[in-house]
Amino acid sequence: MNISPRDKNSAVTILAAKKILTNFDCGQTKDFRWRHGAYNQLVSICDPQPNKSTMLSPFSLLLTLSFLFFLNPSLLFCHAQAPKISFLGNTPDAQIQRTMTALQDTFHIVRVAALTFCSAEPVFLRYFQPNEATFVRNIFRQLANIPLDQVITSENVVDLITSPPYAGLNQKLEYSWILLDQDPYQKCVDPGYNAYMHYDNPQLDALIILCDHGFRWPSIEEIANPPQTAWARDSQGHPLPGYSCDNLGTFDSDWMKTMGAVILHEYLHWGFYFTNVPGWHLKIAPDPAQGGKRDIEDYAGQLGPPAVGSGPYNAKLINDNYGNTGQPFAPTLNNVENYVWFAVSKYWSWRCGRDFAAAPSGDAASKREASGFRPFWP
């Protein structure tokens, strides 16, 4: 991962990018195009040089006592407000590096979704109802650390993505941990799990456990600029299906899915992170089994088909089937994958400069397994 420092060159590029930025309300957002300078600012959250020898802290002891009686995880702090990455002594450096890249991708995706938000676009109306726009916009602003009442204009957008405190991350992220090579609740044994979130402890700290299967998904840059590897290019050097903007197909599919999107999915489950979003207690269903704690959950077929809410096709179906039925807690707003696929499709349409259509079926939207996953490492 190439994480550029904020050098003079990127500042110059950002100023050049500013000229093409206009207002970020509907109808104007299409002028906010991907540029290298803007990209570097959007992803810059983390020092890429982990130093394992200095990473032990009292928190690792706490984790050891709580969950891992025989393991001694080390910790990586990349930023004062950033999630902490907890890993073991034999965790490969490549795994740690890929995790950091994925975290940057997560916040890159949410910043683009927040900055280019437009409720009149088909991609929004594919996954949500028009009257859900303010709430959804605020969820992404909260993720992107943009004040909920901020008016975004061509004059301030560059400041928003480049200046403290908003260029940094939300302070609540300090209470989140990314665990590698650790499976305290024994869910990673199920190959259906890419990752899972756990946060029922009294401090509401979030544990995001990244299973090895989560590392099958590429990064944004591996998709956009495929490396010269056999899993991304053919023997002539041409990108394989699912790699490069030209090879992402015409509709929303898991070719768009990255490790960053996997982590985004897990953060969306962390109700503690969103309690200040207006309407949270009215729109997000309480869980009686957990003392009324409110989290955005995974739809599980409680109203009828689909049986699960994962993937772009099922998320769209939930909107089509139940979006306008007056449910007290809207199934769209209460299914994590509706947010994920809105943001992921939005991201790639911004990055590739073209819109993607709705997935025509669940099978059609599951492309990566057939075309081949990325190897876990390096």
| Residues of this chain that bind Zn ion (CB under 5 A) | 298
Q: Which is nearer to Zn ion, 76 or 206 (CB)?
A: 206
φ, ψ for residue 326, nearest 5 deg = 70, 25
Do residues 213 and 193 lie in contact, with contact meaning Cβ atoms separated by under 8 Å?
yes
Distance CA 61, CA 226 (A): 40
Q: Which is nearer to Zn ion, 24 or 140 (CB)?
A: 140
Q: Which is nearer to Zn ion, 47 or 298 (CB)?
A: 298
Q: Which is nearer to Zn ion, 25 or 298 (CB)?
A: 298
Q: Which is nearer to Zn ion, 190 or 246 (CB)?
A: 190
Cβ neighbors of 89 (< 8 A, separation 6 or more) are: 52, 72, 74
Task: Compute how many other C-beta atoms are within 10 angstroms of the C-beta atom of residue 35.
Answer: 18
- Residue 242, both tokens: 């699912």
Indicate the SS3 state at residue 76: strand
CB of 266 to Zn ion, least distance (A): 7
CA distances from 128 to 41, 113, 214, 318, 331 (A): 29, 14, 27, 9, 9
> Which residues are 19's β-sheet partners?
none
> Which residues are 176's β-sheet partners?
206
CB of 58 to Zn ion, least distance (A): 30
Task: Compute how many other C-beta atoms are within 10 angstroms of the C-beta atom of residue 236.
Answer: 5
CB of 307 to Zn ion, least distance (A): 15
Residue closest to Zn ion when measured from CB atoms: 298
- Residue 216, both tokens: 């099958």
CB of 371 to Zn ion, least distance (A): 24
CB of 14 to Zn ion, least distance (A): 35
Instruction: Report the Cα 115 to chain-centroid distance in Å.
Output: 15
- Residue 367, both tokens: 């492309």
CB of 175 to Zn ion, least distance (A): 19
CB of 255 to Zn ion, least distance (A): 20
Strands (E), 202-300: 206-210, 286-287, 293-294
CB of 339 to Zn ion, least distance (A): 11
Instruction: Report the Cα 117 to chain-centroid distance in Å.
Output: 15
Q: Which is nearer to Zn ion, 37 or 309 (CB)?
A: 309
Amino acid at 51: N
Q: Which is nearer to Zn ion, 195 or 223 (CB)?
A: 195
Q: Which is nearer to Zn ion, 261 or 330 (CB)?
A: 261
Pairing mode of beta strands 293-294, 195-198: unpaired
